[in-house]
Amino acid sequence: MENPLSEARPHSQTIIEERGKRIKLAAEVGLARSSSGRLWSRALRRRLYRKPPQREYIVKNPTPPLKKEVPLVAEVVAGVAEEKEEIEDKVRALQRLVPGGEEMEVDRLFEETADYIEALREQVGVMRALACILDGMESRDGDKL
Amino acid sequence: MEDEIQPLLNPTTASASPSVATSGASFTALLGLPPNRAVELLHEPTFPSDPALVDRAARFSVFAAAAAASSAPSPEVSPPPPPTETTKKRKDGGSTNGKAKVKKGKHAEEDTDGENKLPYVHVRARRGQATDSHSLAERARREKINARMKLLQELVPGCSKISGTALVLDEIINHVQYLQRQVEYLSMRLAAVNPRIDFSGLDTFLSATTMECGRLTIGNAKVGAELDQQQQQPVWSEVGVSDSDQMNSTTNSKRPQIQLQQNQLQQFWHVDLLNTQNHLQPSVWERDTVMGSTAPHVQREEQHSFVGPGAVPLLAFDRVNPVAPPIQSNQQLKMEL
């Protein structure tokens, strides 16, 4: 799985990247575990604990976003034809962003998005604080080791 | 209406509600109403919307006789099953504003007489809107969607000022993307921190603290940690690890015991960070597999005036070599994750 380009870069760089990926995975695990009841969290967990795509068979055609749903929403909230399409596109984009969004109905999608945003915020807060603390530790002990 | 009331008065005076204080109009006495409501009713040739009154009206009113198909004075018949809906429409129909509305009112009446036993649909039918169950359900859904959209608007900063669904959706999407990018950036930043301490507990720490901050309190984290281990394995092994052997040994044998409580977490952020070097002794940082309380940890840490209990999960020491001298463990853990 090593990127051939990575050999050109200094060793420390790849290590940092690797570590970064692992931290991000950890963060996502934390994110998923923080709200276990939610659809997005279950979808996220499924994604995280699944076997890597390379080992899978040819991926079946993933469930297309609910085509019936999106137009309905657009109809609900906008009257004009061009607006409808715009809104449909945006709702689909949102579906892609929120884990598991593609299989959700629109009202559920909004609900899940709200919860997902909250969880993300908490995650960011924790990571930021952690980074500050570690930076503090680092700067203090930089000379001592 | 008075004519209709009169015959009813006599048999019902005995049963008139004792709560009626006023010696006002007989109508009031009959229904046990305060006078202003009675006046309201007088002006409407329709059913009152209060179910209790509807009940009474059902028993005493003329309409009950009209819909005497079910001759039992059951309140079901006359308070037509969707009372809110029908009442509204009848009010519109009942008002003398236009023919169309009157027709509509009558139509509604006929409809409801036919659908006696259907469950209530508490959707307001506005003028000129279809009233069949299909469109009502649709309307309910739409309102639901709009309500959720509003919630999202409040959640996303600066979104409540924006008008227009497309723009609001734009903002929401941007916000989610922004947050996801932040997570990405912060993980890189954390990765770049020069590690003198082992981060193999980082994932559980992150999960634990995120859980703490947001939703649950972790009472017994041992279960979580064990689960974590089992589940974590596939994840770790998939990511291309350079020094995989060492890595695995550290991760597999760790026993992260997250005993953070909410208040401790807050202490964590406030406590001054001192030199960690002196405190990297397994005896201090080693966690008990037995789920003791955090109290012993706290005391020990406070003695060394180090970071509060929150720091404990950061340091996941290898249970395999618990007596490793600090320096050695440092080197072992240095560039590992």
Give residue A18's pLDDT band: very low, low, confident or very high (50, 70, 90).
Answer: confident
| Mean pLDDT computed over B38-53 | 52
Note whether A131 contacts B190, CB cutoff 8 Å: yes
pLDDT the model gives residue B306: 37
Look at chain A and report how many structural domains it folds into: 1
Give residue B304's pLDDT band: very low, low, confident or very high (50, 70, 90).
Answer: very low
Residue B41, C-beta contacts closer than 8 angstroms, at least 6 positions apart: B27, B31, B33, B48, B53
| Mean pLDDT computed over B310-324 | 41
Mean pLDDT of chain B: 54
Smallest CA–CA separation between B216 and chain A, in Å?
Answer: 7
Chain B residue with minimum CA distance to A30: B207
- B194 to chain A: which residues are within 8 Å by CB? 138, 142
Question: In this structure, are residues B259 and B309 in contact, taking their beta carbons and an 8 Å threshold?
Answer: yes
A72 located within any domain = no
A75 located within any domain = no
pLDDT the model gives residue A47: 86
Q: Is the pLDDT of residue B111 over 50?
A: no
Q: Which of B108-112, B204-208, B309-313 has the lowest mean pLDDT?
A: B309-313
A64 located within any domain = no
pLDDT tens column, B274-294: 333 334 334 333 343 333 333
Note whether B238 contacts A131, CB cutoff 8 Å: no
Q: Is the pLDDT of residue B268 over 50?
A: no
Give residue B39's pLDDT band: very low, low, confident or very high (50, 70, 90).
Answer: low
- A16 to chain B: which residues are within 8 Å by CB? 188, 191-192
Smallest CA–CA separation between A18 and chain B, in Å?
Answer: 7
Q: How far apart are CA B12 and CA B6, in angstroms?
A: 10
| Mean pLDDT computed over B206-225 | 50
pLDDT the model gives residue B134: 87
Q: What is the pTM of this model?
A: 0.46
A68 located within any domain = no
Question: In this structure, are residues B199 and B337 in contact, taking their beta carbons and an 8 Å threshold?
Answer: yes
Q: Is the pLDDT of residue B217 over 70?
A: no
Question: In this structure, are residues B240 and A1 in contact, taking their beta carbons and an 8 Å threshold?
Answer: yes
Q: How far apart are CA B300 and CA B41, in angstroms?
A: 77
| Mean pLDDT computed over B21-29 | 47
A76 located within any domain = no
A71 located within any domain = no
Note whether A124 contacts B176, CB cutoff 8 Å: no
A4 located within any domain = no
CA angle (B200, B202, B207) in 5-degree steps = 130
Percent of chain B with pLDDT over 70: 19
pLDDT the model gives residue B320: 42
Smallest CA–CA separation between B214 and chain A, in Å?
Answer: 7
- For B276, which of A23, A130, A141 is closest by C-beta distance? A141
Question: In this structure, are residues B333 and B198 in contact, taking their beta carbons and an 8 Å threshold?
Answer: yes
| Mean pLDDT computed over B77-98 | 43
Rounded-to-5 percentages of helix, strand, coil across chain A: 75, 0, 25
- B186 to chain A: which residues are within 8 Å by CB? 27, 124, 127-128, 131
The boundaries of the domain holding residue A36 are: 13-54+81-141
Alpha helices by DSSP H, chain B: 2-13, 26-31, 35-43, 51-60, 62-66, 83-94, 99-114, 133-155, 165-192, 202-214, 221-238, 244-253, 262-270, 282-285, 295-303, 326-333
Give residue B176's pLDDT band: very low, low, confident or very high (50, 70, 90).
Answer: very high
Give residue A117's pLDDT band: very low, low, confident or very high (50, 70, 90).
Answer: very high
Percent of chain A with pLDDT over 90: 19
Q: How far apart are CA B296 and CA A56, in angstroms?
A: 48
A59 located within any domain = no
- A15 to chain B: which residues are within 8 Å by CB? 242, 335
Give residue B191's pLDDT band: very low, low, confident or very high (50, 70, 90).
Answer: confident
Q: Is the pLDDT of residue A90 over 80?
A: yes
Note whether A116 contacts B152, CB cutoff 8 Å: no
Environment class of A12 (CB within 10 Å of its CB; exposed 0-12, middle 13-18, buried 19+): exposed
Q: How far apart are CA B144 and CA B135, in angstroms?
A: 14
ipTM of predicted assembly, 2 dp: 0.78
pLDDT the model gives residue A118: 93
Environment class of B16 (CB within 10 Å of its CB; exposed 0-12, middle 13-18, buried 19+): middle
